[in-house]
Amino acid sequence: MLVVNASNIEKDWNWIYSHNTHNAEMHNISDKTCLLAIQGPNACKILQPLTDADILNLKYYNFVKQKFADVDNVLISATGYTGSGGVEIYFSAGSGGENKTDHADKIWNAIFEAGAPYGLKPIGLGARDTLRLEMGYCLYGNDIDDTTTPLEAGLGWITKLNKDTAFTAKEILQKQKTEGIKKKLAGFEMIERGIPRHDYQILDANNQVIGKVTSGTQAPSLGKAIGLGYVIAAHAAPDSEIFIDIRNNPVKAKVVKFPFV
């Protein structure tokens, strides 16, 4: 099962389908599958009374399929894109009767009833975005896209070049590994006051453009402005001084290691 960015469902499906050289059976279950991400240090404690599965001891990146809030076959996965702990749960939207979202309604209500004593609240993508950025997690469409490679994005650990197995773009990545990358995704924090935003230019001390901001925000957990951006590789070392062009004003920042927190 692949969980893809919602805006890329069709794009990703078409890509996988076009490369399905072994004629594997494929099903797109996006329209009838719900996903809730319950995140935070108390998430599993809140959810444990709703299932017999031992989710308090569920290891990171592992999952179980179990009854949850009296709904069968709920997939409970120790994953998420906030860095805050917790789980993601996947389930059929409904039983297919008159109310096609009865499972979603039942699970949603059960979670918030269980979470009321802990102050559980629903949040949107804005909060997810600041949390993932504080962890240095890439967002597709911002920090990674069709013009970037895993090596440039610091994701070489998921790219197994030492195996004999062929995969898409392997030769390109092997060449980058041998010759070195020209641009690199770097994290930075603002030294002077200012909020970096997507597509702002990154400058060196001589006011020369050396890159571009891909994500930026005022980090709630840190009380400071942070960002990600691709820069010429020579400027990507920690503590390198850079400047963010904010409304034609170069504002000082420095490169820092991930995660920010």
Q: What residue ranges define each of the domains in the chain, with the CATH number in brackets?
A: 6-122 (3.30.1360.120), 136-256 (2.40.30.110)
Q: Is the pLDDT of residue 100 over 70?
A: no
Q: Report residue 241 as tokens.
A: 């001084």
Strand partners, 137: none
> How high is the pLDDT of residue 95?
64
Q: Is the pLDDT of residue 97 over 60?
A: no
Contacts of residue 208, Cβ cutoff 8 Å, sequence gap at least 6? none
Average pLDDT over residues 132-146: 95
Distance CA 243, CA 253 (A): 5
Quote the DSSP letter at residue 83. Answer: S
CA angle 237, 242, 245 (to 5 degrees): 145
Q: Is the pLDDT of residue 43 over 60?
A: yes
Average pLDDT over residues 79-106: 85
> How high is the pLDDT of residue 45?
98
Q: Report residue 49 as tokens.
A: 């009374």
pTM comes to 0.91
Distance CA 81, CA 78 (A): 11
Average pLDDT over residues 127-154: 95
The answer, yes or no, to whether the previous bond of 259 is cis (omega within 30 of 0) is yes
For residue 62, report the phi and psi dihedrals to the nearest 5 degrees.
-110, 165
> How high is the pLDDT of residue 160?
87
pLDDT band at 215 (very low <50, low <70, confident <90, very high): very high
> How high is the pLDDT of residue 209?
98
Residue 125 to residues 61, 82, 130: CA-CA distances in angstroms? Answer: 21, 11, 9
Q: Is the pLDDT of residue 69 over 90?
A: yes
